Each structure stands twice: as C-alpha cells, then as structure tokens.
Amino acid sequence: MLVPTGRRWPLAATTFLFVPGDRPDRFGKAAASGADVVLLDLEDAVAPADKDTARAEVGAWLERGEAMVRINAPGTPWFEADAALVAGRGVPVVVPKAETPGVLAGFREVIALVETARGVERAGELAAVPSVTRLAFGSVDLAAELGVAPEDPEPFAYARSRLVIASAAAGLAPPVDGVTTDLHDGDRLAADVRYARRMGFGGKLCVHPRQVAPVRAGFAPTEAEREWARRVVTAGASVSTVDGQLVDKPVLARARRILGG
C-alpha cells in the first residue's frame, strides 16, 4: 500500500479501495487486497448513529496501520471531529463535497472529491490548493444533484473533462474516477475503466476488493501500446515518423510516459 509522502505521491496509484469505518474486521483484509490506497470511510458508508464508533475504530487502526481517511463533508455535524482525527495523526484525507479552497488548505495532504456542480465549476481553484495532491470524481452524488442516471457517462463528460484539465493545469497526476456500484457486472466495470482512461483519468475508486485487480489491469498500458512506445523511444528524435505517425517532442514524451520513463 502506498504511503503518502508529498504532492507527487499519487502518481503510481490507480486503485483506491473504500472500507466502512465501522467495520474494523475488514481493515486488514483491505490492506491485504493489493489496492494501492486503502480509504477508511467515515462518510457515506457509515450511518449517522455509528459515526462516533467509526471514528474511534479508524483512530485505533491508524495507531498501527496505514490508510487514507474519507471524512464527513464540511458543514456536517461530524466534520470538526473527523478533521481533528486526521490532523492529530498526520494522515492524508479525502474531503467529500469539495467546493471551498480554504477548507482544503487546512489539511496537510488532500484528495479533493469533486461531486457537486459547484465543485466542478471550481475544479481549477481546488486543484491549485498546495495541499491538494489529486482530484477525484464523485459521479453518484453529482448524478443525484443533476437528476441523471449515474451509470450513464454522457451527462458527465463535461465534468470529467473539467477535472482532467484542472489537474493537468495544476501539475497534478490525472484524477481518480468515481465508483462502479454494480459489484457483480465485470463487463460494466471494464467499460467504465476504459471510458475513464480515454477521458484522461488515471485511477478509480473501488468499493469491493474484487474490483481492485480489474481496475489496475484496465489502467495499465496494453502490450500494443508498450510495443508502439518502445519503437518511438528507440527511434528517438532521429526520425520523423513511426508507423506512419509524426514523431515530435509531445509524441516522444507520451511514449516515455507509457514506458514509465
């Protein structure tokens, strides 16, 4: 599991696995799932009556294990206590309903979860906050606000592009796509990953360990992409075309990114 260590830490992370904060029996299993990042969730996965218990369980885990924490949104009754929990332990945090740059600036390391219309419109401002290490997209909550189906990608094309452009402009790693809620439809998950990758995303939020391996595989370059990249890098700047495609500085840079260089 990745240990966050500054603004560049998420570059290699593609899989982010949610675990309900009131289910400590699942914490260890999540850590052993192979996910790049484990997200202990104090927000949507925890009922209001169980918030205090979840916070205590997450705090106990952080005394001996590593994870990120999704806290409750600013303005909720639980935000201040959740913020104190992560601040006291210096752990990175996912802030849901991210809309206000000043709120994000109060944390050391933040993934800003953009899931409201206002948040989408402020994506550039959120990405520019120094403590923000990455943006993530909350499609389910945004769907509820817009009155559209969360599984239909078309209504979210603008929002996704907005996050991708904002991330690039701020020098962040590509954003993290939202969850696929159907746990049993592998084809749906694969299609969602392919679409997110085409849109410029670099990772995905997962809600079950069985989603981790397919998501990681879906965001990895294909063998055909790697072979193309190897030919481009081998040719370098000494030739003008590879496979009939113009090779210039941006194309060479893309090839190197595919190869991890």
CA 121 to chain centre: 18
Residue 45 pLDDT: 95
Tokens at 173, concatenated: 């790693």
| 64: Cβ contacts below 8 Å, ≥ 6 apart | none
Q: What is the pLDDT of residue 55?
A: 98
Domains in the chain, ordered, with CATH? 9-220 (3.20.20.60), 223-261 (no CATH)
pLDDT of residue 99: 97
Mean pLDDT per 10-residue run, the chain (261 residues)? 39 88 96 94 97 97 93 97 93 96 95 98 98 96 96 96 98 96 94 96 96 94 74 70 73 74 55
- pLDDT value at residue 238: 61
Mapping DSSP to helix (H, G, I), strand (E, B) and coil, where does residue 189 land?
helix
Cα separation, 4 vs 183, in Å, equals: 28
Query: Which helix (DSSP H) or strand (DSSP E) does residue 40 occupy?
Result: strand 37-41
Residues of the binding site: 70, 115, 141
Environment class of 136 (CB within 10 Å of its CB; exposed 0-12, middle 13-18, buried 19+): buried
Name the binding residues for substrate.
70, 115
Binding-site residues for Mg(2+), in ranges, read 115, 141
d(CA 5, CA 90): 11
